[in-house]
Structure 1
C-alpha cells in the first residue's frame, strides 16, 4: 500500500501537465493529421506529393543538408567550449560559462537580426571591408545558405554543450591517469581515450541539435531571404501565403514523425549522457 501511494500521488501531480499536453499539442496535431488526408479531397495524395513534387523534394533535401552541416559545426564548437568549461582553469571555466549562458538570455529573433546587421550588404562586415579597401563591392553574405548556417550554429551551440558536459563530468579519472601512466602523450590520450569515452555525449548533442535544426523557422526566414527555404518555412508558406492546407499538414506530420524517430534514437543511444553522464 505504501508503495502505491507515491505512484498515485505522482500521477495526480502530473495530471495538469498531461491535460495541458493533450489539449495544447495532441488535439491540434490530430486535427493537422486529419487535414493531411482530407484536404482538398480524402486520400493520401498530399503524402504522394512529398515524393513527387520537385519543390518539396528540394526543400526536404536542403533541410536535411543544412541540418547535417549545422549539427557538425555546432557539436565540434560545443565540444571545444565544453572541454574548457569542464577541465580548464578557474578563470577559463568562468569565461566559458559566461559565453554559454549569455545566449540563452537573447531571443532567436534578436540574434537573427544581429547577424543580418553584421552580414548584409550595408552591414558592419561589408562596411569595414570596403573601408579597408579589401573589397570594392559588398560581399553577398545574406540570402543564402551560408548566413542561415552561421545563424543556426550560433543559436544551437549552447544546446549541444550540456549533453557533452554531462558526459565529460561522468568520466572515470582513473582511466585517464592509467593511460597517462602507461606513457600516452596528451594528444594520444585525448583522441584514443578521452574522446571515445565521451561519445554518448557527442551523440546526444548531435541528435538534440539535429532535431532543433529540422524545425528552425525564424533564422532561415530572416537570413535566407526566401532563397533558402526549409521545411518549417515551407509549411508556413503553404498554410498562410499560398493556401494548400493539405500539403502543409502532410509536411507537418512528416516533420513530427522524423523528430519522433530522432528522439527515439536519442533516448536509445544517448540516454546516459542526458541523465547523468557516462558510467
Structure 2
C-alpha cells in the first residue's frame, strides 16, 4: 500500500522532466532520424554512403583517434590531480578545488580562444620562445591535431576528476596501512593496492571523457582551423554548407547510437556499483 501511494506523487514530480526531455531531445532526434531515411529520397542510401564514403570514414577514424588520445591524457592527468585532492594537505586540496571548479564557470568558447591566443603565431608561447632566442620564427602550434587535443584535455579533466574522487574516497585506509606494515614501499602500495582499488573510477572516468569528447564541436573548429575536422563539425558542414541534410542526419544518428552504446556500458558499471569503488 505504501509503495502504491508513493507512486503517483513520484510520477507527478517526474512527469514534467520526462515531457521536457521528450520535446527537447526525443522528438528532434526522431525528426533527424526521419531525414536520414527520406532525404533526398526514401531509403537507406545515406547509411550506405556513410559506410562507403572515404571522407566520412576518415573523419570517424580521426575522431576516434583524437578522442582516444584525449581520454588517455585527460584521465592520467585527472588521476594525478585527484590523488592530490583526496590525499594532499589542506592547502593543496583548496588549490585543487579552485582548479577543478573554476573552469566550469568559463564557457567553452572563451577557453578555446584562450588557447588560440596562447598558441597562435603571435601568441604568448611563440613570443616567449622568440624572445629567449630558442626559435627563429613562430611555430605552427595551432590549426593541427595537437592543439585540438590540448584544448579538449583542458576541458575534460574536471569531468574525469569527479568519478575518480568518488573511487579514491572509498579506499579503505586500513588496507594501505596493512601493506605498509608488511614492508611494502610507497610505490609498491600504489601499484599493488591503491590503483587496483580505484580502477572502477578509472573505468567510469574513461567512459565519461570518451563520450563527451565524441561530441566536441567548438574546440576542434577553433583550434583545428578546418584541418582536423571531427564528426560534430562534419555534421555542421553537411547540414549548413553543402547542404546535404540526409547524410548529415545519418552521421548524427550513427554518432548518437555510438554514444548511447557507451552510456549503456557506463550504466552497467553503475548498476554493478563499480563507479563508486565497488566492493
TM-score, scaled to structure 2: 0.97
- Residue correspondence of structure 1 range 191-210 to structure 2 within 5 A: 191-210=191-210
Residue 7 of structure 1 deviates from its aligned partner by 2.3
Aligned to 2:34: 34
Indicate if the aligned counterparts of 1:117 and 1:123 stay in contact, CA closer than 8 A.
yes
Gaps of 5+ in 1: none
Residue 139 of structure 1 deviates from its aligned partner by 0.3
Aligned to 1:81: 81
SS of the residue corresponding to residue 3 of structure 1 reads helix
Aligned to 1:24: 24
Aligned to 1:159: 159
Residue 186 of structure 1 deviates from its aligned partner by 0.5
* Higher alpha-carbon deviation: 250-259 or 7-16: 7-16
Looking at structure 2, the residues matched to 171 and 153 of structure 1 have their Cα atoms a distance apart, in angstroms, of 27
Looking at structure 1, the residues matched to 148 and 218 of structure 2 have their Cα atoms a distance apart, in angstroms, of 10
TM-score, scaled to structure 1: 0.97
Looking at structure 2, the residues matched to 144 and 131 of structure 1 have their Cα atoms a distance apart, in angstroms, of 24
SS of the residue corresponding to residue 141 of structure 1 reads coil
- Residue correspondence of structure 1 range 5-20 to structure 2 within 5 A: 5-20=5-20
How many residue pairs align between the two structures?
278
Residue 4 of structure 1 deviates from its aligned partner by 1.4
Deviations 1:175-204 (A, max 9, x none): 212211221110000001100000000000
Indicate if the aligned counterparts of 2:130 and 2:136 stay in contact, CA closer than 8 A.
yes
Aligned to 1:138: 138
Residue 273 of structure 1 deviates from its aligned partner by 5.1
1:64 aligns with 2:64: yes
Residue 151 of structure 1 deviates from its aligned partner by 0.1
CA RMSD of aligned residues (A): 1.0
Deviations 1:62-106 (A, max 9, x none): 000000000000000000000000001111111111111111111
- Residue correspondence of structure 1 range 209-248 to structure 2 within 5 A: 209-248=209-248
Indicate if the aligned counterparts of 1:180 and 1:189 stay in contact, CA closer than 8 A.
yes
Residue 277 of structure 1 deviates from its aligned partner by 3.9
Aligned to 1:93: 93
Indicate if the aligned counterparts of 1:171 and 1:278 stay in contact, CA closer than 8 A.
no
Indicate if the aligned counterparts of 2:238 and 2:248 stay in contact, CA closer than 8 A.
yes
Residue 261 of structure 1 deviates from its aligned partner by 0.4
Residue 270 of structure 1 deviates from its aligned partner by 4.8
Gaps of 5+ in 2: none
Indicate if the aligned counterparts of 1:147 and 1:223 stay in contact, CA closer than 8 A.
yes
Aligned to 2:48: 48
Residue 11 of structure 1 deviates from its aligned partner by 1.2
1:250 aligns with 2:250: yes
Residue 278 of structure 1 deviates from its aligned partner by 3.1
Indicate if the aligned counterparts of 1:159 and 1:209 stay in contact, CA closer than 8 A.
yes
Looking at structure 2, the residues matched to 26 and 71 of structure 1 have their Cα atoms a distance apart, in angstroms, of 28
Deviations 1:129-166 (A, max 9, x none): 11111111110011100100000000000000000000
SS of the residue corresponding to residue 198 of structure 1 reads helix
